[in-house]
Chains A and B, each alone.
Chain A
Amino acid sequence: MNDQRPVVIIIFIFLVGLVLLTKLFLIQVVDDSFIKKAERNAIQRVVDHPYRGLVYDRTGKLLVYNNPIFDLMLVPKEFQVGDTTRFLEIFDITKEQLIESYTAARKYSFVKPSPLIKQISTTDFARIQDYLIDYPGLFIMTRAVRSYPLPIASHAMGYIGEINAGQLERDTAKYYVQGDYVGLSGMERFYEKELRGVKGVKYKMVNVRGVDKGPFKDGEYDTASVAGSNITSTIHLELQRYGEMLMNGKRGSVVAIEPKTGEILAMISAPFYDPNSLTGADFSKNYRALNGDESKPLFNRPIMATYPPGSIFKIVQSLIGLQDGILTPETTFACNKSLVACHNHPSPSDLFGAIRNSCNPYFHQAYRQIINREISSNTFEDTKIGLNDWREKVLKFGLGSPLGVDMTNEKGGSIPSSKLYDKVYGEGHWKYSTIYSLSIGQGEMLVTPLQMANLAAIFANKGFYFTPHLVKSIEGDPNQIPVQYRTKHSVGIDAKHFDLIQNAMAEALYGTANRAVIQDLVIAGKTGTAQNPHGEDHSVFVAFAPKNNPTIAIAVYVENAGWGGRAAASTASLMIEKYIRGEISRPALQEYVLAGNFIY
């Protein structure tokens, strides 16, 4: 009987081997979930964040840079305090702070670093650096935050902050992860891709306690980060700074554009905030404070505030009339105040005189001819056709929809079409007498200060514009800026019609905006007053200079500052002088603007 038993034992031995190998085959070869589990265990993916691109002004001066901030980190396992009194003295903290931070660090991890002192200043860092060697378990971790040498151009530059849920969802390329910093407004947001660079990845191995055990496969799978592109902005730092000084304490906008290129030289939204307040650890606290501020410092007026264009729009009307052949320089209309109010000036006037004197009845009558061309015998129908044709011509001036500046949240204003009046009055129930306010830039018409500045550039260029933009070159290469900023837009008006306009604007300065006149520097300008049903009217002025070879076109809005000839014209004139001459020859005018008492 026992003869079979050795065979049974041998079979059993082979069976054991077979069972073990089968189970091993199942977990090693068939089931590959263990490979991922092992990677999750031991391989840590460490993202190497690239250096965000810097921003320079058009003259090469630094506008935005990265400021290293230093956190003093502590590894409890290695930490030895030695002489406590000396330690507290060197690191300038209290015993309670030390105990609190150490306890928190111990609680978090015994072997992983936790912050002991956050955001040490560069000077403190230099001071404590030499002592660090005496204290094992302490080291400095460097982070970079956005920083601004001058607290200017905050709206144009924008700010960066932690990515929000919506942005993460839209990021189909899955580049971002929770906690990443992205541009949230202004240029920072528009040029996020250029500025951010490319993240690098390092794979490192960690043991069961999370202690670093060196690179995985000697760094074979690691990728280096690529620093973001440096951007040269179109902003003129000195002009921007000067403009912000002038606008300090006021509400309003200043937009200055180089007409030949569409480059924005200055873009001021008052009231402003210090861009340094929206960086680093205090971001949330400061953001809440700014957001709750009644003066709305975060509101980017040049592209988000809309106002009726007012008298300045008469120039657009003139150009359309001239192009359509409805107006000629010789066309005259009487200043018939029964149609619409006007101030006292010689009457009747030709087109030149009408622009110079900003004659309301002139444009009431001229606009009627532009709209009602007797294309239809039905006056209602005729007005409708006329309005829609006219609207098409107005839109070409960059009005009625966002220009497409390289910032987010730009508003387009509005130029009414027949649909709006059909909706309000009913189809066939409105005619010229309903819409005549449009003739003098009032009524159902809104534009942004940026669009106004662009209008000034169009007048300066005699009929074309480049979409206003904030970036001059990327990594020194002007061809890397988006193509839409290198494309010329024609407004559909022959250049010859602009001579009269330019002359009238230069002449108008002496009548309506004497303060703006500069010795030996011809400015072409037009005042406007945006009616404000809630209080004092807004002071508006657009201009370009020098008249014969314009290098700057500007629009200035000063809210609640009354007539355009005072606050806005004075500010624009000072800005023009600052930009072209580099210095101010009229300290009295500067004092006048700084004092800010424009209502009298």
Chain B
Amino acid sequence: MKENDIHIERVDWITVLVYFALVMIGWFNIYAAVYDGQAEKSIFDFSINSGKQLVWIGTAIAIIIVIMAADYRLYENLSIILYLFFVGLLIVTPFLGKEVNGQILSVGFGDFRIQPGEFAKFATALALAKFMERPTFDLSKTKYQLQAFVVLLLPVALILLQPDTGTAMVYFSMLVMFYREGLPQSYFVLGFGFIALTLMALGIENNFYLTLGIAAVIAILIFLGKRSWQKILVFSSIGIALIAYTYSLDFVVEKLPEHQRNRIMVLFNPDIDPLGVGWNVTQSKIAIGSGGFSGKGYLEGTQTKFDFVPEQHTDFIFCTLGEEFGWIGSLVVIALFVTLLYRLVIMAERQKTRFSRIYGYCAISILLFHFMINIAMTIGLFPVVGIPLPFFSYGGSSLWSFTILLFIFIKMDSSRAMQLGRIS
């Protein structure tokens, strides 16, 4: 038996089945989103998005076959090259790309265009895995932390230049992988505390109460345990810095470009401007909310197909599902995503090399982030961030990049028996 044979029996079929289930449900929903009862176009009609998505699905299957057929070591060997290639592509995108709505996201020629930002995700995942697999690599040490962050931040910085805040945010989801690989817990405690403080500062009208709260917490911390002038000085400085931060935040929000500021503020008050910024969230919630328990029935939705919800076949595809299949439909799809992610954690933990485990967690991080943020934004739990729902949303770049991301890991997993036990 040759080492690069496809081990059908070792492929994790549960994951593959969940993947296809999501892709097919997504495809049906894309048809529902563009369905026009008067035009009577078939789901296979290439002039509408469902027909086009079928082409993307077909090509995605071709990509899967190539990935599964290739040598598992190829990805490890190509990791740094792929990373550098896509970083390079990100560098040239602003010069060669096409501008749409003030963003330059894609490069290519004619109708064939790809978004380097999408593909750089799996390339960065491979590079991080390669970089961090060294036995000496220890995330509890500042030196290694900085190295890992540089690998991560390079594509982020380039994507922010496009500018595509949503995609850039996705890269920060790698924190989940860093957590698994031993980034100290205190970072997360501080991080979450900081996020909580930020949300409170934005959400609470009067910063005075927040100031009182911070002062109280600092005072309690100072009087707990041993007291020293040094400690009092450090804690007081931190307290003052935090209070200053809460006040400066209002100022910064004020200085943000209007569309970004509104996206944040609408989270706290969706009625702030129901026909303007709040439109997306309001209409999205109406579409999903009107689905009720069991939905209006396939192709019977009115909110999504009559364009009340913007971007209803891409970023807001979940609305179509929520409207036509109700809470039951939402439950099925969320259960599929949770099953997929749970399965991927199990798979990641059974890897024999640190490389493939890290890569697996990168895939988990990215998929979890997309799943969580995309659905949360459609129901008003998170500001509107333009990121697609994996396997579901219409679009070739998105489907391909998630397929590549997932199936490279499935390939690694199916080949794990041949990997040397070099896990540390």
A-facing mask of B154-193, CB < 8 A → 1, else 0? 0000000000000000000000100111100000000000
Q: Are B338 and A14 in contact (CB under 8 A)?
A: yes
Within 8 A of A (CB), among B381-424: 381
Q: Are B293 and A29 in contact (CB under 8 A)?
A: yes
At the interface, yes or no: B116 with Cβ under 8 Å from chain A? Answer: no
Q: Are B307 and A29 in contact (CB under 8 A)?
A: no
Within 8 A of B (CB), among A397-420: none
Residue of A nearest to B330 (CB): A24
Q: Are B338 and A17 in contact (CB under 8 A)?
A: yes
Residue of B nearest to A33 (CB): B289
A41 in contact with B303 given A16-B368, A24-B327, A25-B327 (CB within 8 Å): yes
Q: Are B287 and A21 in contact (CB under 8 A)?
A: no
Q: Are A214 and B37 in contact (CB under 8 A)?
A: yes
At the interface, yes or no: B97 with Cβ under 8 Å from chain A? Answer: no
At the interface, yes or no: A173 with Cβ under 8 Å from chain B? Answer: no
Q: Give the segment of B44-52, B257-265, B341-349 that binds chain A.
A: B341-349
A-facing mask of B333-374, CB < 8 A → 1, else 0? 011011001100100110000000000000010001001100
Q: Are B292 and A42 in contact (CB under 8 A)?
A: no
Residue of B nearest to A38 (CB): B290
A23 in contact with B379 given A6-B345, A28-B293, A28-B322 (CB within 8 Å): yes
Q: Are B292 and A35 in contact (CB under 8 A)?
A: yes
A41 in contact with B308 given A13-B342, A23-B379, A27-B379 (CB within 8 Å): yes
A213 in contact with B38 given A28-B322, A38-B290, A205-B302 (CB within 8 Å): yes
A217 and B335 CA atoms in complex are apart in Å by 31
Q: How many residues of B contact A (CB 8 A)?
A: 47
Residue of A nearest to B368 (CB): A13
Q: How many residues of A contact B (CB 8 A)?
A: 41
At the interface, yes or no: A586 with Cβ under 8 Å from chain B? Answer: no
At the interface, yes or no: B78 with Cβ under 8 Å from chain A? Answer: no
- Of A1, A9, A32, which is in contact with the most chain B CB atoms at under 10 Å from its CB? A9
Residue of B nearest to A37 (CB): B286
A401 and B368 CA atoms in complex are apart in Å by 85
Residue of A nearest to B176 (CB): A9
**Minimum C-beta distance from B33 to chain A (A):** 13
A6 in contact with B330 given A13-B368, A17-B335, A38-B286 (CB within 8 Å): no
**Minimum C-beta distance from A168 to chain B (A):** 30
Q: Which applies to chain B's interface (DSSP): helix, strand, loop or mixed?
A: helix
A19 and B371 CA atoms in complex are apart in Å by 12
List the B side residues contacting A20 at CB < 8 Å.
Answer: 330, 334, 372, 375-376, 379, 381
Q: Which applies to chain A's interface (DSSP): helix, strand, loop or mixed?
A: helix
List the B side residues contacting A1 at CB < 8 Å.
Answer: 182
Q: Are B286 and A2 in contact (CB under 8 A)?
A: no
List the A side residues contacting B291 at CB < 8 Å.
Answer: 28
Residue of A nearest to B307 (CB): A208
B-facing mask of A173-210, CB < 8 A → 1, else 0? 00000000000000000000000000000000111110
B-facing mask of A6-50, CB < 8 A → 1, else 0? 101110111011011101110111011111011101110000000
**Minimum C-beta distance from A474 to chain B (A):** 42
A213 in contact with B331 given A13-B345, A20-B379, A29-B292 (CB within 8 Å): no
List the A side residues contacting B364 at CB < 8 Å.
Answer: 9
A209 and B306 CA atoms in complex are apart in Å by 9
A546 and B311 CA atoms in complex are apart in Å by 85
List the A side residues contacting B300 at CB < 8 Å.
Answer: 217
A291 and B345 CA atoms in complex are apart in Å by 86
A334 and B124 CA atoms in complex are apart in Å by 131
- Of A5, A8, A31, A216, which is in contact with the most chain B CB atoms at under 10 Å from its CB? A5
Q: Are A28 and B292 in contact (CB under 8 A)?
A: yes
A42 in contact with B303 given A20-B334, A20-B375, A28-B322 (CB within 8 Å): yes
At the interface, yes or no: B326 with Cβ under 8 Å from chain A? Answer: yes
At the interface, yes or no: B201 with Cβ under 8 Å from chain A? Answer: no
At the interface, yes or no: B288 with Cβ under 8 Å from chain A? Answer: yes
List the A side residues contacting B286 at CB < 8 Å.
Answer: 34, 37-38, 41
A6 in contact with B379 given A41-B308, A207-B306, A208-B308 (CB within 8 Å): no
List the B side residues contacting A6 at CB < 8 Å.
Answer: 180, 345, 348-349
**Minimum C-beta distance from B346 to chain A (A):** 9
**Minimum C-beta distance from B211 to chain A (A):** 30
At the interface, yes or no: B250 with Cβ under 8 Å from chain A? Answer: no
List the A side residues contacting B341 at CB < 8 Å.
Answer: 13
Within 8 A of B (CB), among A206-241: 206-209, 213-214, 216-217
Q: Are A27 and B368 in contact (CB under 8 A)?
A: no
A-facing mask of B19-36, CB < 8 A → 1, else 0? 000000000000000001
**Minimum C-beta distance from A378 to chain B (A):** 82
At the interface, yes or no: B285 with Cβ under 8 Å from chain A? Answer: yes
Q: Are A35 and B368 in contact (CB under 8 A)?
A: no
A325 and B292 CA atoms in complex are apart in Å by 85
Q: Are A9 and B327 in contact (CB under 8 A)?
A: no
A38 in contact with B287 given A13-B368, A27-B379, A28-B292 (CB within 8 Å): yes
Q: A23: which of B176, B180, B371, B381 is its contact (CB, 8 Å)?
A: B381
A17 in contact with B334 given A27-B289, A34-B290, A213-B36 (CB within 8 Å): yes
Within 8 A of A (CB), among B293-325: 293, 300, 302-303, 306-308, 322-323
Within 8 A of B (CB), among A33-89: 33-35, 37-39, 41-43
A5 and B357 CA atoms in complex are apart in Å by 13
Q: A24: which of B36, B38, B337, B379 is its contact (CB, 8 Å)?
A: B379
- Of B285, B286, B322, B341, which is in contact with the most chain A CB atoms at under 10 Å from its CB? B286
A217 and B301 CA atoms in complex are apart in Å by 11
A419 and B404 CA atoms in complex are apart in Å by 104
Q: Are A9 and B179 in contact (CB under 8 A)?
A: yes
List the B side residues contacting A35 at CB < 8 Å.
Answer: 289-290, 292
List the B side residues contacting A42 at CB < 8 Å.
Answer: 302-303, 306, 308
Q: Are B337 and A29 in contact (CB under 8 A)?
A: no
Q: Are B290 and A208 in contact (CB under 8 A)?
A: no
**Minimum C-beta distance from B89 to chain A (A):** 31
A42 and B286 CA atoms in complex are apart in Å by 11
A205 and B283 CA atoms in complex are apart in Å by 16
A304 and B136 CA atoms in complex are apart in Å by 110
Q: A17: which of B285, B287, B337 is its contact (CB, 8 Å)?
A: B337
**Minimum C-beta distance from A132 to chain B (A):** 22
Residue of A nearest to B38 (CB): A214
A209 and B307 CA atoms in complex are apart in Å by 8
A23 and B334 CA atoms in complex are apart in Å by 12
List the A side residues contacting B290 at CB < 8 Å.
Answer: 34-35, 37-39
A213 and B300 CA atoms in complex are apart in Å by 12
List the B side residues contacting A31 at CB < 8 Å.
Answer: 289
A423 and B293 CA atoms in complex are apart in Å by 75
Q: Are B38 and A28 in contact (CB under 8 A)?
A: no
Q: A34: which of B37, B285, B330 is its contact (CB, 8 Å)?
A: B285
**Minimum C-beta distance from B144 to chain A (A):** 15
A43 and B290 CA atoms in complex are apart in Å by 13
A-facing mask of B190-206, CB < 8 A → 1, else 0? 00000000000000000
List the B side residues contacting A9 at CB < 8 Å.
Answer: 176, 179-180, 345, 364
9 additional A-B pairs beyond A9-B179, A23-B379, A33-B289, beta carbons within 8 Å, are A6-B345, A6-B348, A10-B345, A17-B338, A20-B379, A24-B327, A27-B288, A35-B290, A205-B302
Which 8 pairs from chain A and chain B are nearest by CB?
Answer: A34-B289, A38-B290, A207-B306, A42-B302, A17-B338, A27-B289, A208-B307, A28-B327
26 contacts between A and B (CB under 8 A): A1-B182, A5-B179, A6-B348, A6-B349, A9-B179, A20-B330, A20-B372, A20-B375, A20-B376, A20-B381, A23-B379, A24-B327, A24-B379, A25-B327, A33-B289, A34-B286, A34-B289, A34-B290, A37-B289, A38-B286, A43-B302, A205-B306, A206-B306, A209-B307, A213-B37, A213-B306
Residues on A lying within 8 angstroms of B by beta carbon are 1-2, 5-6, 8-10, 12-14, 16-17, 19-21, 23-25, 27-29, 31-35, 37-39, 41-43, 205-209, 213-214, 216-217
